[in-house]
Chain A
């Protein structure tokens, strides 16, 4: 009797526990859903707001905004082509320099370096990622730019002056300085994430490869193949930083809306133009043009991210089938 009673109480209790547990689950689930949806809403809202803000400029210039190259606040003529060019080229070149270096660092840290070396070096690499961009900019002005002007650019124009990318006067300030700064800034992001990705590949993969008689290099190649999509993700994060970087770039790039094949010439990026000109923009059309620039930057970022996802997706599919 007594036993039965206590059993039924126990039963009730457990049921209650389960139901309350379910309640908690329910709330948690909906809450996380809300957070997820709010991110979507935020992105849509941002895009919409920027579109609204740039309507004046879109109506006036249409697609010409993207294809013409005069940016003249006095005459109120706005064409963003050289600025878009500057953004895309500086980021792409920075990535070309940073990517092989970063992957090299990641492989060394994850596969080759002994523990006592890996820990401090990883720490230093992550430290690089945490340095504020204005510090990079100051370093650019006081160290990188003088070095480029006095040593690197004269050397390049003397030895390789026949190449159009190394022509013109060596100011130090310009595309080359921006590319190098951006490469240094994206390097720690790509390398530290890539290292984590490599480390997350099960050790048995390497052991299996080695057991089958692969050399160390071959086993690393196999690990790299598995880590491809993760490394691509890291690269995209790095590219994101390069495209959106404002302060460090504007301090060294020379800030002129100019399309020039030479890396020595000044250039301009979208983020820098917005940061430089927004505070003093008084006319409606001017503000609208700057907002449209922000919209273009937003769209480019989304497109690049989408392309990266697509690439990851198609690659992982290929591996599954092969």
Chain B
């Protein structure tokens, strides 16, 4: 008798959980960089609406692959899809894929120079020469010129870069390719590139580890990682000639500076942005959604969620070390979201 009632109870709870799960569930996969804020958003959103989002942080490449194969309801990436990838996705899934920016990130240049704390100034071209292996000493004239007040040591520069494919490397190399013809010709931009010099570290912590331990080292890490770990980083000269300290405000400013020139599909790199307060090594991270979804209920929920994330959701950004989207960009995003349909019908 007892066993029976326990079994019955078990069955009941099971069936209840099935009912709960029968509520809407959306699956997504992709970039690791925004995973922290995405899981915060999905958690909050579930508490408010009961709709469950499953997100797997498998990397941008994986996100693009999965949305192309149609195995997820949405994807996520730190580097925009190429035209070729977009047309492949369209031919396989019968729908355009839209890029919706969610938050901004930035890449900072950290360094290890004993006696010099904060306040190293660098510009893009000098940085590219360092990463090309052409500038090899800290007291090189090019660096001295940018830092007349600092007493730069006669020390070899040890270059550190990411060894794993990452959106951070994409933003960084995209910037170098914009400011140096040599870089774009010899190396180019990508999530992994053929680095001319230096040591590779796995992940932000790998690069930060090399920089922290090696006197004379220079490396690039995510702004969020640097802020959380109290790492010194350089001020970068932007297009207007001002040296800008990376911060959430200066990153958002870069997006704002680019808003007017942003193409309608929102696939845009905002490195080397104009505007006097813009930090030049900034970038978006995007959610990838189908323009025409097959499941009406899912489409409606996704649209609702996207709108929420662009408005109220943005308030969580700085607390989790992301830069929020500026208002003009939110407006552009909302225009794109309005394009989403379910089986060709507009979503109310």
Contact = CB atoms under 8 A, between A and B. Distances in A.
Residue among B32, B187, B198, B206 facing the most chain A CB atoms (10 A cut-off): B206
B201 interface: yes
Contacts of B206: 251
B60 interface: yes
A145 B62 CA distance: 33
Given A277-B165, A280-B59, A73 B192 contact: yes
A171 B61 contact: no
B37 to A, nearest CB: 19
A311 B95 CA distance: 59
A70 B194 contact: yes
Interface residues of B, number: 35
Interface of A is mostly: loop
Contacts of A279: 32, 58-59, 61-62, 164-165
B191 A280 contact: yes
B214 A277 contact: no
B164 A171 contact: no
B232 interface: no
Nearest to A74: B188
Nearest to A273: B163
B64 interface: yes
Contacts of A171: 158, 199, 214
A149 interface: yes
B194 A74 contact: yes
Interface in A46-76: 70-75
Interface string A245-288: 00000110011110000000010100010011111111000000
B283 to A, nearest CB: 15
A173 interface: yes
Contacts of A272: 163
A130 interface: no
B227 interface: no
Nearest to A70: B194
B209 A276 contact: no
A172 interface: yes
A255 B200 contact: yes
Nearest to A276: B164
B141 interface: no
Interface string B155-187: 010100001111100000000000000000001
Interface string A146-172: 100100000000000000000001011
Interface residues of A, number: 32
A173 B194 contact: no
A141 interface: yes
B213 A280 contact: no
A133 to B, nearest CB: 13
A167 to B, nearest CB: 14
Contact of B213 (A145, A174, A268, A278): A145
Given A280-B165, A280-B166, A282-B85, A256 B213 contact: no
Contacts of A75: 188, 194
Interface string A110-131: 0000000000000000000000
Interface in B187-216: 187-195, 198-202, 206, 209-210, 213-214
B61 to A, nearest CB: 4
A72 B189 CA distance: 11
Given A74-B194, A172-B213, A251-B202, 12 more contacts: A71-B194, A75-B194, A171-B214, A255-B163, A255-B201, A256-B198, A256-B200, A275-B164, A277-B164, A279-B165, A280-B166, A282-B60
28 contacts: A70-B194, A72-B193, A73-B193, A74-B187, A74-B194, A141-B209, A141-B213, A145-B213, A169-B156, A169-B158, A171-B199, A250-B163, A251-B202, A251-B206, A255-B200, A255-B202, A256-B195, A256-B198, A268-B200, A276-B200, A277-B165, A277-B192, A278-B165, A279-B164, A280-B165, A282-B60, A282-B64, A282-B85
